Chains A and B, each alone.
Chain A
Amino acid sequence: MSETVTNAIELNNISVNFQNHDQEIDAVKNVDLQIKRGDIYGIIGYSGAGKSTLVRVINLLQQPTQGSVIVNNQEILKLKPVELRQARKKVSMIFQHFNLMKSRTVQGNVEYPLLGTKISKADRQAKAEKLLRLVGLSEYAGTYPSQLSGGQKQRVAIARALASDPEILISDEATSALDPKTTKSILELLKQLNRDLDLTIVLITHEMQVIKSICHNVAVMDAGEIIERGPVAKVFTEPQQKLTTDFVETSTNVKEAIERITSTIKISEFKDNQELMYFNFIGNSTKQGVVSEFSQKYGIDVNILFANIDQIDGENVGYMIAVITGDLAVFNAAIQRLSSEGVKTRILTNDVLEGGAA
């Protein structure tokens, strides 16, 4: 199969400029993005990075200033309005604030995408019922959205999004207004839909936690550009950009830990043979006794202040912050050996003294 067949979405050299009074704002700058059929692709960035604008180019809710958009093998920008509306039915979208119609019941909301199609009323109702069963809300068919919780509203929105049998689902911060437990259950549902319906999911978020729990691939956006991309496990363990490192450390609590540690212990009182160190273990290296090796083989004292372990795409990833005390020459040799085993280290002592908390 050629590239165009396996890619559900292809954005080529997309730019979006907004004219705001006399100011020109480049919301998206020359972005190329290919998303494979069946993938769960995450786009992460802080608000204002341009991720919402970028994904709205996929269904042309946002007209790009330049570039080409190929969705389901159709050149979207060349479609007539009627054809575009047909194409949009195959690219569903869910939103941070659910965007349900308050004047319609749950059932009515789910039926909405089927209004005006050739599907008969009975079939339409049956389909909505089936979808509500799928999202676990059968008993709420007759209620109005205002009576539902956030998580339930998002489930209704998902059922509505599925009514037109889409091939692609765009999730625009769909879990950002939900509590952690509800977020988890919504993400589980998305994962299940990806698996069972072979739905391609494009997901925007500002939380690395979300990317980590369901995405296969991720792109990091900043100031309208994709600054880093790749399989989640790789981006997670080998972040190349400062911003990516930021996101990773926030999601693993490392950032918070560093802040806590540096505010409670006095680095300036460290002896010459002491350092505050950050260790990042990936895959197999987590299985070996790094700490015991340090102390037994090299005679270095390791005082662990923080440790955490994560599983990303089946790989173990560990994080540790420790104060080490020992002969620095020996210590350097030990670090050399560690990095050859895939453990990444960073000395935090100087960062902290210079005032920048990692």
Chain B
Amino acid sequence: MTAIIPNVIAMKGEFIQATWETIYMTLMSAIVSAVLGLLVGVLLVVTQPGGILEDKLTYSVVDKLVNLLRSIPFIILLAVISPLTKFLIGTTVGTTASLVPLIFGIFPFYARQIQNALLDVDHGVIEAAESMGSSPLEIIFRIYLREGLADILRVSIVTVISLIGLTTMAGAIGSGGLGDVAINIGYARFENDITFTAMIIILVLVFAVQLFGDWVVRRVEHQ
């Protein structure tokens, strides 16, 4: 082992820590983004033309905001958002500080995915619920989020995988995690075994998320 990946063995402790940092960043930003993304996604679906709470102004403002945030390249967002990060966290470096750009980088993407997932819910079923006297809130919770659950889970998996990708980019501003190790140690010091091992661990994380996600989707789907 020492012969194949000498540098990795030498910094085993750092690798374990970096892996936990990546998991921490992914999980924490996923949780916050899930809440924000669901809220915004549902808001888009219900306020859009023909929606159950149609509201042209709200829809067009939120829609444009989501597009705007989605258009900023993440590497630039990391830098641009730093004053806000400083204000919220107190610092702009470190794992926790990276949560702010990660959340702003991923939740608009997730909101859009949620919107698309919910648009796939059969409009006839929504109409049926309205005809049965369901309130907008009941329609959101008992129809949209429930009928759309399998698709919501599917887009959540895609989002978490994208998010793992973003956490590695956050390494550029010293967030810690596997991306940080791969670039700032492996790449900078020409220690290729470190870069390669970081990649392998990330791939394992991605596959684990994908497999777990697929298993959950299979369990909730009844079509």
Contact = CB atoms under 8 A, between A and B. Distances in A.
A136 B16 CA distance: 61
Contact of B143 (A85, A92, A101): A101
Contact of A103 (B129, B130, B132, B149): B149
B222 A164 contact: no
Given A99-B122, A101-B147, A146 B223 contact: yes
B124 interface: yes
A47 interface: no
A99 B128 contact: yes
B200 interface: no
Interface in A3-18: none
A61 B127 contact: yes
B64 to A, nearest CB: 22
Contacts of A124: none
A26 B161 CA distance: 50
Interface in B137-177: 138, 142-143, 146-147, 149-150
A61 B222 contact: no
Given A99-B124, A100-B125, A102-B222, A88 B147 contact: no
A85 B134 contact: yes
B131 interface: yes
B147 to A, nearest CB: 5
Contact of B132 (A92, A102, A144): A92
Given A99-B124, A102-B223, A112 B133 contact: no
B2 interface: no
A92 B150 CA distance: 29
Contacts of B150: 103
A115 interface: yes
B124 A93 contact: no
Contacts of B143: 101
Interface string A57-93: 0010100000000000000000001000111110111
Contact of A93 (B128, B135, B146, B149): B128
B146 A88 contact: no
A344 interface: no
A89 B125 contact: no
A89 B134 CA distance: 9
A104 B222 CA distance: 8
Nearest to A114: B132
Contacts of A112: 129, 132, 142
A113 B133 CA distance: 8
B222 A103 contact: yes
Contacts of A61: 127, 130-131
Nearest to B131: A93
A88 B124 contact: no
Majority SS at the chain B contact face: helix
A91 B124 CA distance: 17
Nearest to A91: B131
A29 interface: no
A184 B79 CA distance: 69
A88 B142 contact: no
Among B127, B131, B222, the most chain A Cβ lie within 10 Å of the Cβ of: B131
A289 interface: no
Among B125, B132, B147, the most chain A Cβ lie within 10 Å of the Cβ of: B132
A95 interface: yes
A191 interface: no
Contacts of A102: 147, 222-223
A88 B223 contact: no
B133 A85 contact: yes
A88 B138 contact: no
Nearest to A147: B222
A276 B189 CA distance: 101
A116 interface: yes
A310 B132 CA distance: 38
Nearest to B124: A99
Contacts of B132: 88-89, 92, 112-113, 160, 164
Contacts of B223: 102, 144, 146
A93 B133 CA distance: 11
Contact of B128 (A91, A95, A144): A95
Contacts of B149: 103
A142 to B, nearest CB: 11
Given A97-B124, A103-B146, A103-B147, A88 B222 contact: no
Contacts of B222: 102-103, 144, 146
A60 to B, nearest CB: 9
A113 B122 CA distance: 18
Interface of B: 122, 124-125, 127-135, 138, 142-143, 146-147, 149-150, 220, 222-223
Given A61-B130, A88-B130, 18 more contacts: A86-B133, A88-B131, A88-B132, A88-B133, A93-B128, A99-B122, A99-B124, A101-B125, A103-B150, A104-B146, A112-B129, A112-B132, A112-B142, A115-B138, A115-B142, A116-B134, A164-B132, A164-B133
8 contacts: A86-B133, A88-B131, A92-B132, A102-B147, A103-B220, A103-B222, A113-B133, A146-B222
